[in-house]
Amino acid sequence: MSKIIPFKALLPIPEVAPQMLCPPYDVISSEEAREFAKDNPFSFLHITKSEIDLPANIDPYRATVYQKATDNLKSFEKRGYLVEREPTLYIYRQVMGDHGQTGIVCGASVDEYESGAIRRHEKTREEKVIDRTKHAHTARAHTEPVMLVHRSSAELKELINEREARFNPLYDMVDRDGVRHLLWKIEDPQPVLDAFAALDALYIADGHHRSEAARRVRDLFAKENPNHTGEEPYNYFPVVIFPDDEVRVFQYDWDGPADERPLSEYTMASIMELADRQGIMPPKSTWFAPKLGSGLFVYLFS
């Protein structure tokens, strides 16, 4: 059984969503982020890489950086760039060239990550986990999702295809790398929740550090909350879950054009098989593309 939940999100208003969309925090350096967000006050990098708004030589792991991220997030809300929505699920589709992948945006259980029902295949680096733990704990929000994979389900594909065919997306935009991003709201989440309950496991594709940070954030908030029940929003973390037959795995080390990156010797099936037997891959073995867009939704703890 895989438990997922609808969650209360901050979503960008359509007028600024294209300018807000940016790469994930861990695929862009501080210097690249400064250049990317230059002259763009709407870029979500002001939240995920908030050192770009502080002196150039600042240590990105200082407390002032996490506080700046929190201040910027609050400013985006106050100015109306990000608007709070009622708890629900979303459908998220990405199109890169002639390839498309469509997943469900939801909250995933920290308990299931801890128990191994959400399975991992990579070791984490302590400094990166600490960084994202401090970022989320200070901001009281997870600002970027984790990419998960589920074994392909005909029922889920039918539910997704029906929604895509019947309704216009909330967003339909193309990022700087030419990847198209579309997002739909799911009006009735229950059939999707039931379909996931029939799955025995989920698999981390991209976002091992964010997943481990979510566990530590849960522990911090649970310790601070004398009335902790285990069902508070901090017991879950935001994910996009794609079917395994739509996800492509590329070679990590590649210096050529992004659109010519070769496929990896590993497949999603081999990675899932490794995760099932609790195996660990060598560092820098895989590259998942397209990367999830950052700035499409923020997961709130309250």
| The pLDDT value given to residue 302 | 86
pLDDT on residue 164: 67
Of the given ranges (19-28, 39-48, 162-171), which has the lowest mean pLDDT? 162-171
Q: Rounded distance, CA 43 to CA 70, Å?
A: 15
- The secondary structure element, H or E, covering residue 10 is strand 9-12
Whether 145 and 292 have beta carbons less than 8 Å apart is answered as yes
Closest among 25, 28, 24, 34 to 57, alpha carbons compared: 34
Q: Please state, in angstroms and as integers, the Cα–Cα distance from residue 141 to each residue in 52, 135, 136, following that order.
A: 20, 8, 5
Block residue for tokens 């910027």: 72
- pLDDT band for position 248 (50/70/90)? very high
Mapped onto helix, strand or coil, the DSSP state of residue 20 is helix
d(CA 97, CA 266): 21
DSSP, collapsed to helix, strand or coil, labels residue 293 as coil
Task: Provide the 3-class DSSP secondary structure of residue 97.
Answer: coil
Bigger pLDDT: 47 vs 283? 47
* DSSP 8-state symbol, 217: H
pLDDT at 161: 82
CB contact burial 54-84 (16+ within 10 A = b; e otherwise): eeeebeeeeeebbebbbbbbeebeeeebbee
DSSP string, 153-216: -HHHHHHHHHHHHHS--SEEEE-TTS-EEEEEEES--HHHHHHHHT-S-EEEEE-HHHHHHHHH
> 287: which DSSP letter?
E
**pLDDT-based confidence at 283, cuts 50/70/90?**
confident
The pLDDT assigned to 226 comes to 97
Amino acid at 52: I
* Domains detected in the chain: 89-300 (3.90.1530.10)
Cβ pair 35, 12 in contact under 8 A: no
The pLDDT of residue 185 is above 90: yes
For residue 143, with 0-12 CB atoms within 10 Å meaning exposed, 13-18 middle and 19 or more buried, which class applies? buried
pLDDT at 258: 83
* CA geometry: angle 94, 96, 102, nearest 5 deg: 25
Give whole-number Cα distances, 198 to 124, 192, 195, in Å.
29, 10, 5
Write out pLDDT tens, residues 255-269.
Answer: 898 889 999 999 999
pLDDT in tens, 71-120: 999 999 999 999 999 999 999 999 999 999 999 999 999 999 999 999 99
The 10s digit of each residue's pLDDT in 119-175 is 999 999 999 999 999 999 999 999 999 999 999 999 998 988 877 666 789 999 999
Asked whether the predicted pLDDT for residue 38 surpasses 80, the reply is yes
What pLDDT is recorded for position 86?
95
pTM: 0.96
